[in-house]
Chain A
Amino acid sequence: EAGVTQFPSHSVIEKGQTVTLRCDPISGHDNLYWYRRVMGKEIKFLLHFVKESKQDESGMPNNRFLAERTGGTYSTLKVQPAELEDSGVYFCASSRGSDSYEQYFGPGTRLTVT
């Protein structure tokens, strides 16, 4: 089965611009997660979808970040307007269930804001 895919792999934008990241989870996985790793720091949770519903968005840093999962399939994470501190690697993960099931991660999108 295909793994979690993310697009683009790398994005370089200027401060104030908008960027949209996309994640395609493993087919059949209802749970989708976004995480972020800022350089040299821990990977931090951003939010969790169950199908198309936001189950937990406690990790979203501020209202410049908007995540959607229309139809419960792929998800997008939009940053508008981007700030320098938004630079980092954004990981998407998916899991079949929400209990003990491990989360499978995509390769990440490296975002650089200049």
Chain B
Amino acid sequence: AQSVAQPEDQVNVAEGNPLTVKCTYSVSGNPYLFWYVQYPNRGLQFLLKYITGDNLVKGSYGFEAEFNKSQTSFHLKKPSALVSDSALYFCAVRPYYGNNRLAFGKGNQVVVIP
């Protein structure tokens, strides 16, 4: 069964500083990897995905993520954080072949300090 670990409950970063949200995964075979963001009182919003190809994936709002197969990681990054990036971030994985079930991490609360 697939699973995701997001080791930090909360990530605090000063506005303008680089933001990193960590994610490691476990899946049988090759993975499809996703990042979602949830703003207060809103649903999950798709940010980016890794399917195949380049390990560095670019997504919405200046976010990017790097797939590292040997470390089974898919960390989310943004070069310069904005206060408006404060939200709950979820990493998710599903297998390349087989079921379509997304397995989510428990989420990371990101707080960007002005």
Contact = CB atoms under 8 A, between A and B. Distances in A.
Interface stretch (A13-21, A53-61, A68-76): A53-61
A98 interface: yes
Given A56-B100, A102-B34, A42 B51 contact: no
A107 B43 contact: yes
Nearest to B105: A42
A40 B41 CA distance: 16
A105 B34 CA distance: 13
Interface residues of B, number: 22
B44 A48 contact: no
Interface string B101-114: 11111110000000
A87 interface: no
A44 B46 CA distance: 17
Q: How large is the interface on A (under 10, 10 to 19, 20 to 34, 35 or more residues)?
A: 20 to 34
Contact of B106 (A42, A45, A108): A42
A56 B4 CA distance: 20
Contact of A108 (B34, B43, B90): B43
Interface string A88-101: 00010101001010
Contacts of A4: 43
Contacts of A33: 100, 102
B10 to A, nearest CB: 13
A93 B45 CA distance: 11
Nearest to B9: A40
Contact of A91 (B34, B43, B46): B43
Given A33-B100, A35-B102, A43-B104, A100 B44 contact: no
B45 A41 contact: no
A104 interface: yes
A10 to B, nearest CB: 10
Contact of A100 (B32, B45, B103): B32
Given A100-B32, A100-B51, A106 B104 contact: no
A103 B51 CA distance: 14
Given A31-B100, A59-B101, A41 B106 contact: yes
Interface of A: 3-4, 31, 33, 35, 40-45, 48, 55-56, 58-59, 91, 93, 95, 98, 100, 102-108
